[in-house]
Every structure is written in structure tokens, then in C-alpha cells.
Structure 1
Amino acid sequence: MFGLFRKIIYETCDAIWGELQVVYLSPPNVSELKAIANKFYVKTGMPNYLGAIDGKHIRIVSPRNSGSLYYNYKKTFSIVLMAACDANYVFTYVDVGALGSQSDGGVLSRSAFGRKLLNGTLEVPCDTNLPGTSTNFPYYYVGDSAFPLKQNLMRPFPGRNLPQDKDKFNMMLSKARVHIENAFGILANRWRVLHTIIHACPKNADKIVLATVVLHNFLMLQNDRNYFTLELADHSVGNQEIHGRWREEVNALDSYQARSVNRSYTNAFQLRELLKDFLSSNAL
């Protein structure tokens, strides 16, 4: 009987994803990406910003005969949920199922989104001038220091005790990246299964996670006040930054600890310098 119940759950998750994904988690078109960038600019002062890439470990039971493939740095077994979101905490891209032991390049490059982002074929809006300047600049996502620096993928400057302009750049990237952190926090706060060890094989665990993500988008886009209120996410009251209620969780999702990579390109370093100079003189 229990096996029947599990079969029904997995089939239901499959159906939820199949019916809702096309409407609520299809890749944004160019017009939608421009709207996302405009909203981010108003909220963060980061121009041409399309969202941050981040990943979380979703704990699962040890799969049979898998050895250390799913064994992560927290000494648990997991799959990796990697995603990007818009300024309203709605996921725009998602990939789930990467092995918990994989490196950052393996997780990102195995997804259709990641492959295109890394090889420069991802559909993004055409380069446009930075606000109030004649400096042409590409649209971009942001990753942490473990990801490569590329034309459409920015990362922070490395090191400590940085010059003021580089430190300001890193702080603004951090402020922009917190949106994906909040999106994950809201997701896990509302779908408590993500706080547990999912007792399913990786393929079925993927189905459960994908169902929660697309239902999250559905409820966020429906403006369901029983699902989300501003207090749940980080927000400002006057000049004071208030942590979102999701941060009160004792068992927050473990962040993905990517390994450093060095596949960056000279042109991308030059672009980061241009963006740094713009933010240094034009930050909100």
C-alpha cells in the first residue's frame, strides 16, 4: 500500500511539473529579460543585471550502489538545486539533480541554461549603454568567486582589503545576489519537505523538488498572500535592513560549495572594470 502511495506522489509531481512548467517556468524571452533587468536596476542600482546563479543541496537518502557520487562536503548525500530568479523571487531558470559531489563546472555546464551561458550562446538582450553613458555593456548574470568571469557572467573581485571602488562593487553584487538567497529561503520555508531527508531515489527526488519550485512560481505570480508577504524576505524599513522571517529557520538549506575555476577571459576582466567604474560613480 505504501508503494502505491509513493507512486501516486511521484506521478502527481510529474503532472504538476508537466502542466505548470510551460506557463510558470519557461525561459524568459528577450522582452521579459529586459523587464527583469529594469526591475533589478530600480531595486539594486545594478544595470543590465538579469539575476544571480546559486545552488543549494537537497538532502536525500544514500542511493544504492552510488558510492560517493552524491556525498557532499557536509558529509550527507544530496542532489543540487541550481537556479536564478527575478527581482520578485520568482525562479527564471532551474536545474535539479546534479550529484552532491560535483564541482561547480559540472553542475552548471550539465544544464541547458549553464551550457549556453558558459559558451556564450544564451539568448540575452543586445548590449546597451550603461544608464547616462555612452558605454556599451552586455546583460549579465552574477555568480560567486568560484564561477568563471565571462561576458554574461560577472563575479566579485577576489581578495581582502580591496580598494574602495572594488569593495563597493563587491558589496553591490552581494546586495543583488541576495535575491536568489531569499528565493531559496522562501521556497524552503513554504515547502517543508526540502528541510528533510527525502526518502526517494535521485530521479524521484528530482520530481518532488521540481514540483515545489513550479508551485512556488505559480503562487508568487498569483500574489497569494497566504504564501508570501514582504516580511518573509529581506526588506528595508526606512534606512534599516530587516532580515526576512525565513532566516529564523534552524535548518536552512545548505549552500552549494563550488570549487574554484579559472576559465575567465581578458575581455570579461575589462568588462568588470567598466562596471566597477560605473557603480563607483553612479551607485544608488
Structure 2
Amino acid sequence: MNGQENVVLCAAACVLLCSLLKKKRRKKPRCWVRPLLQRRNEETNKFLEEIKIDPLSGFKNFTRISCQDFELLVNATSPFIAKQDTNYRKCVPVSIRLAITLRYLATGDSFASLMFLFKVSKELIARIVPETCKALISVLKENIKMPNTSEEWMILERQFDHLWNFPHCIGAMDGKHVVIQAPSNTGSDFFNYKGDFSIVLLAQVDANYKFTYVDVGCKGRISDGGVFKNTGFYANLQQGKLNLPEPYPLPGRNNPIPHVIVADDAFALDINLMKPYPGQHDKRSKERIFNYRFSRARRIVENVFGIMSGVFRVLRKPILLAPEKTQLITLTCCYLHNFLITQKSSSQLYTSAGCFDTENQITHCTIDGSWRRDAGMANLLPLRHVGRRPPGDAKNIREEFAHYFQTDIGMVPWQETLA
């Protein structure tokens, strides 16, 4: 055997030895759940049970919802979000999934912060929140409904006339830019006039502070007049598919006028969309009186946005999610608003005394609601006011309202003092 063969044998022996050593060296097993999160179900369930029996309503403050309504939503969403245990780990229960989502909506905390609170990984929370929001929208879809018949529209009209002295009004409309982080690969699509990235929340409300129509997701760069014109609601309104009541005269007047929606200067004046007279006007003039009566009806939608952003504080800061997920978050807040405002067990917390604008019963001066003293609305940006040339028919309808508010039938005793 020569020296060359010895070298070959030695090399082969080394390779064989290394392969044997590798087989004996076992890889350290990877844990399926972090040690911090291993007891998440037990500890989190215990925490939720403790705050449920808190005499200071700790659970309502924590989730913005009563225990009874929480259990109602748990049972309703369970078919959509319930998961099965596996051989490796237990699933996150429906109650914890719902609590995580409600806490996120109530605070806007980061997923990392919620991870330490609920003992659930932030990666899983990032999947839980959108999934639970979809489930909530599905089970609460009946809470935001637009009237389908002229009789249902007339119910809204009578409410505005009775509560806010504005006849022929079927809703108050407004829009807000919901600030988001800059989406990747979208250029300036979501870049709005304020220099932020946003999607638009457009909504109509009734006289009782409830949403009747919501549209979310329009890109922030789109002109504010185009936001409304891009909705199905506008198309149906223009085509006469909403089954609105037939026009008829105001009390004591002769000219038939259609039913209208009240909105601010961000929208274009139209036959079914009223906006205030622009500019400054003399005290007690018909324009100034109209603007005062108009503002009493339109401030309903301002109050709705203010209360909703005060309770669901995720809307008070830039939402660090993709536009599609931000749309789900915003829609869920709107559906929960209508749900909570009608539930007796939760409405006292949601609409506490002094939260809405009110009027002094003697002087009828406006008393600002508590939401107006909160800086949280800074992240719900108003739509941009753009001057537009209105059609002549719409101007005539506004004039008819203005003259009616000066008649003995249409006036309210305090309007000349406060206008």
C-alpha cells in the first residue's frame, strides 16, 4: 500500500467519523409557545373574570361594553371565530379573542402591548383583530340600515322636525379622514390635503345619533366632493332609487320641495343636499336664521363622530395597519356605536350625561358636549371645503327653507336672539 492510498483511506475515515458525530448531535427542540405565553388562557380568563366583578365597572371601562352585551357578542361571533385545540397547543378562546379586539378598539394600543396584557403573541393578535372585526360586522349588520320605503323615510323626517325643528330633513351627513401610516407601493394615492395619509369615512346619521349609512375606504387623495359622488348612495339618490317621499310644501307654503340631507361646505349644494349660506350675514337676516336652524340639525353628525372617537380611541391616532384592515377597524367602530347606543346595559356608559351637545331649556343656548373639550378629534380630519357653483333649483329650495323659518308657523321663539 503506497502513501497515496493511505491518504485516501484517512480522508474516508474522517468523513465517516464526521457523519457519525452529526447523527449523534441532536438538534435542540424548538418550543411551540414562549414561556411567557404558555399559561395565557388560564391567566387571561382569570383576569377577565376579576374585572367583571369589579364594583367600579372595571369591565365596562376596559372593553367599552357591559358584561351582558359582551356575552351576547361572544355567543354571536363564536361560529365565525371559534378555533379547535391541536396536539401541540390550545386555541385562544372566543372570549379572549373578542376582549383583545375590543381593547384594541378602545385604546389603539400596539399589538406588542396587548401581547403582554393578554399573553397572546403579537403575530397572532395581528390575525385575531381583523378576523374578529369581520365577525362583528357580520353579526351587527342589521344595526346600520337605510330606510327602504317612503314610510320609513318619513319616520326619520318626523324625528328631525320634532327634535331639531327642521322639516323635510332625512339625515345629517359628514365625512372624516381617518389617518393611517403610509401604505407601501401606493405613491400619493392616500395622501390628503393636510399632508397625511388617510382613508375617508363618510356617514349619514338620523336625529337620534345613529348611523343610517356608512362608506369607508375612499383614498385620501380623492377630492372631497368626489368622495360622496363615488358612493352607491349618491348613484341611487340621483337615479331616484331610494324611495324617498314625494315632494310636498312646507306648512303654510305653496311650493313643493323634496326631502333633503343637511351637510357642511365640503359638499355641493343640490336639490336633496342642503348646505349653509356662505359668508357673513346681518343679524336676524333670513340667511343667518337659516344657518342657525341648519346648524342645530347638522351638529348631530358632529356629535356622533366626537363620541365614537372618544370611546373607540383607536381613531384618535394614526392606525398602523394596511388600508384594508383600517377599513375593517373603522366599520366595526361604526357598527358597535349603533349597537351600544341602543343597548340599555351599555348605553349609560357610552352616552354618559354631558357627552352630547345640549341646549339650555330656558335660553336655548348650546352647551358643548364633553367630546368638544377633547383633543382626540385631531386625528379625524374634516373634509376640505371647496367652493362650487350650485344649480338654480337647489338655491331655490334653500330660499324656500329660509323664508319658511321666518313665518309664524316655521319660526322658533328664540331664533332671532341666537342667530
Alignment TM-score, normalising by the size of structure 1: 0.93
Higher relative contact order (CA 8 A, sep 6+): 1
Aligned to 1:194: 315
Residue 243, structure 1, aligned to residue 371, structure 2: no
How far off is 1:67 after superposition?
1.6
Deviations 1:68-96 (A, max 9, x none): 22112222111111101011110111111
Amino acid at match of 2:144: L
Aligned to 1:273: 399
SS at match of 2:375: coil
Amino acid at match of 1:246: W
SS at match of 1:161: coil
Q: Distance in 1 between matches of 2:281 and 2:209?
A: 32
Q: Distance in 2 between matches of 1:261 and 1:161?
A: 19
Aligned to 2:349: 226
Partner of residue 211 from structure 1, selected from 323, 332, 344: 332
Q: Which runs of 5+ in 2 are unaligned?
A: 1-120, 413-419
Residue 182, structure 1, aligned to residue 309, structure 2: no
SS at match of 2:177: strand
Aligned to 1:25: 144
Aligned to 1:283: 411
SS at match of 1:188: helix
Q: Distance in 1 between matches of 2:281 and 2:368?
A: 26
Partner of residue 96 from structure 1, selected from 193, 206, 216: 216
How far off is 1:120 after superposition?
4.7
Amino acid at match of 1:53: M
Percent identity over the alignment?
36
Partner of residue 171 from structure 1, selected from 280, 289, 292: 292
How far off is 1:196 after superposition?
1.5
Q: Distance in 1 between matches of 2:239 and 2:388?
A: 15
SS at match of 1:53: strand
> CA RMSD, aligned part only?
1.8
- Higher strand proportion (structure 1 or 2): 1
Using a 3 Å threshold, how does the CA distance of structure 1 residues 260 and 3 change in structure 2: closer, same or farther?
A: farther
- Asked if structure 1 preserves the Cα contact closer than 8 Å seen for 2:310 and 2:376, the reply is no
Aligned to 2:234: 114
> Larger C-alpha radius of gyration, 1 or 2?
2
Q: How does 1:7-22 map to 2 (within 5 A)?
A: 7-21=127-141
How far off is 1:10 after superposition?
0.3
Deviations 1:225-264 (A, max 9, x none): 12113411001232242111111211212211143333x3
- Asked if structure 1 preserves the Cα contact closer than 8 Å seen for 2:202 and 2:215, the reply is yes
How far off is 1:19 after superposition?
1.7
Aligned to 1:45: 165
- Asked if structure 2 preserves the Cα contact closer than 8 Å seen for 1:70 and 1:101, the reply is yes
Aligned to 2:383: 256
How far off is 1:111 after superposition?
1.4
How far off is 1:31 after superposition?
2.4
SS at match of 1:96: strand
How far off is 1:36 after superposition?
1.4
Aligned to 2:106: none
Using a 3 Å threshold, how does the CA distance of structure 1 residues 106 and 193 change in structure 2: closer, same or farther?
A: same
Aligned to 2:248: 128
How far off is 1:132 after superposition?
3.8
**How many residues are matched?**
282
Q: Which runs of 5+ in 1 are unaligned?
A: none
Deviations 1:88-111 (A, max 9, x none): 110111111111121123210121
Aligned to 1:159: 279
How far off is 1:155 after superposition?
1.6
Using a 3 Å threshold, how does the CA distance of structure 1 residues 17 and 36 change in structure 2: closer, same or farther?
A: same
Moved more, 118-127 or 64-73: 118-127
Q: Distance in 2 between matches of 1:272 and 1:171?
A: 13
Q: Distance in 1 between matches of 2:225 and 2:215?
A: 13
Q: Distance in 2 between matches of 1:114 and 1:185?
A: 25
Amino acid at match of 1:283: M
